[in-house]
Structure 1
């Protein structure tokens, strides 16, 4: 923890924003420090651009939004710790399951039927969304809006994944999400959890021979440079969230809170639409670089492993929450 404190203290001093949330609130200008681990070319930038635009329109000169992209402030796990320490105010990330295991319901493989189902769960003020937001608030984080990275595809060094059986023995990097570890093991793979920031080097050095991500992540992080085949499995879709620390949120003046949420939601609509458009277009762009695209996927072959992960997660997530997501229309 001391190393983490030193790292964020140095960063804060370097950019002259070493004010705590309470001090920032005491000023007329509200300084908000937001981090994410994606490159500046990622659709997260569109989200935050719109966020800043709406805030500036409603409260000219009131907000000073400082964005730290491309993992400048470390990993998403470090963001959580930094928000608790008060050295970071907010982040866009996908670490909800790390905050509370019940939130792993959003990470379950094959939990979403399609984009419309994702929208019904997270972008339509559903009862499920309210439950998820309440869980995060209990744990110290205020959700402003939900975003997405998109349905995920598997890339390899030549292995063509047309069904779950083709994963047998494959050394594949996955996020450190227990339901995924369960599912990939059920599919016969050897899943290795690694931070996103380490994936490119792990593939390059042969630590793992495969990974899975949406096309936008594959493209902007240049995984196509170190992988030769991409299979359009669409086996999962991890959403992301724009959160503020609860302490920072509660310290905001009441008159700005509704607009902060409104601005984040306006940005999320742009980010989600842009991510989906980019993911569709980037399949062709990735193919144009010489990567072989496998389109004929037996998606139902992944169902048994997915349901095994549901059963294994019932104790930590709750079957009622799993069913609530599955049944949302």
Structure 2
């Protein structure tokens, strides 16, 4: 009889524990985590998956994360709209300026010219990083930090340009945000501002001769059968942004907020270490696929940078504000 009672107590204890686990699972809050660029298995997609897993781990299961990859919830602008509205809670996105043109500060051409300068500027405590936090808060978003990719370039077919004169007659896709088209026009190109989800069709139908918005990974991964050349013009240091709807963040308790923030910092720090190596890896992959890769000289980059700063920076005074541009002029790489 004693043995039966003991077994019964063990059974009751096990059932109580299972009930507690089920109750905890039922009470777990679900957060929607999305990206506007990056399919499952891509570097951005892997980072998104990693962020979600870290949030669940660091919250001890209090937070359940549902991940949405590129195009699963719409195009770039649509998904960003969902984030601002709170229909998506957390996002790795490439900045859109539809709610505040000051976000375009991240696309200021030729702020930095080397990896060391860029990492210092964009890392927590860096001068670019410091500018972004307040801007995002003003549109109801919690800014965690950047997710850097590296310096971008221009991928084209048929011909390529290593100077402003050679760009004449080449029409390239740019991002739809200011000052992406203006920057490429300053470098001598004709431009068409096209949403990321429509780039492949634009290339296939001849609407544009190339793509001028990304590090080489994207052009290799998506368009290597359509594009022949990649010139690393370095007009932007490309970085995604780790952010969250501010109301969603404020609705979490302190421990949950810490879990989300700590997970974001971990993902960001991992990417700062991995970004340069990833970029160099895809340069080699692009070459192996038959794409010709060009790294302009410091002198050639200097010509591009002076042209962009002369023509685009004055436009940005009105768009992002003279105070912000004063900070940029005081910290940007010397030419």
TM range (shorter): 0.7 to 0.9
TM-fit CA distance, 1:263 = 0.8
Q: Within the alignment, does 1:162 sit opposite 2:162 as a pair? A: yes
Name the residue aligned to 1:177.
177
Counterparts of 2:76 and 2:185, CA distance in 1: 25
1:300 lines up with 2:299 in the alignment: no
Asked if structure 2 preserves the Cα contact closer than 8 Å seen for 1:117 and 1:328, the reply is no
1:66: how far off?
1.0
Q: How does 1:145-294 map to 2 (within 5 A)?
A: 145-212=145-212, 213-220=214-221, 222-294=222-294
Q: Report the number of matched residues.
A: 303
Q: Which residue is 1:17 aligned to?
A: none
Asked if structure 2 preserves the Cα contact closer than 8 Å seen for 1:145 and 1:265, the reply is yes
Aligned residue for 1:35?
Answer: 34
Q: What whole-Å deviation, never above 9, does each CA across 1:224-265 have from its counterpart, x for those lacking one?
A: 111111112222123211111111111111222123111101
Q: Distance in 2 between matches of 1:85 and 1:232?
A: 36
- Aligned position for 1:318: 321
Encode CA deviations 1:14-35: one digit per residue, 9 max, x unaligned: xxxxxxxxxxxxx731211111
Distance 1:122 1:207, change over 3 A: same
Indicate the SS of the match to 2:42: coil
Q: Secondary structure, in 3 states, of the residue corresponding to 2:244?
A: strand
Q: Deviations over 1:129-162 (max 9, x none)?
A: 2332111111111112211232111111121221
Q: 2: CA distance between counterparts of 1:114 and 1:247?
A: 37
> Secondary structure of 2:269's partner?
helix
Q: Which moved more, 1:265-274 or 1:248-257?
A: 265-274
TM-score normalised over the length of structure 1: 0.85
Q: Which residue of 2 aligns with 1:58?
A: 58
More displaced 10-residue stretch of structure 1: 319-328 or 282-291: 319-328
Q: TM-score, normalised by structure 2?
A: 0.84
Larger-gyration structure (1/2) = 2
**Cα offset, 1:326, TM superposition:** 4.8
* Higher relative contact order, chain-length normalized (CA < 8 Å, sep 6+): 1
Query: Distance between the aligned counterparts of 1:76 and 1:224, measured in 2?
Result: 22
Deviation at 1:277, TM superposition (A): 1.2
Partner of 2:20: none
Q: Gaps spanning 5+ residues in structure 2: where? A: 1-25
Aligned residue in 1 for 2:122: 122
Quick check: 1:35–1:71 contact (8 Å CA) kept in 2? Answer: no
Indicate how the Cα distance of structure 1 residues 128 and 186 shifts in structure 2: closer, same or farther if over 3 A, else same.
Answer: closer
Displacement of 1:101 in angstroms is: 1.1
1:185-209 deviations in whole A, cap 9, x for unaligned? 2222111000111111211121101
Flag structure 1 segments of 5+ consecutive residues without an equivalent: 1-26
Offset from partner CA, 1:83-124 (integer Å, 9 cap, x none): 243321121111243331112121011111222222222213
In 2, Cα distance between the equivalents of 1:244 and 1:100? 16
> For residues 157 and 103 of structure 1, what CA distance do their matches in structure 2 show?
31
CA deviations on 1:270-301 (whole Å, 9 max, x unpaired) are 23333321211211211111112223441122
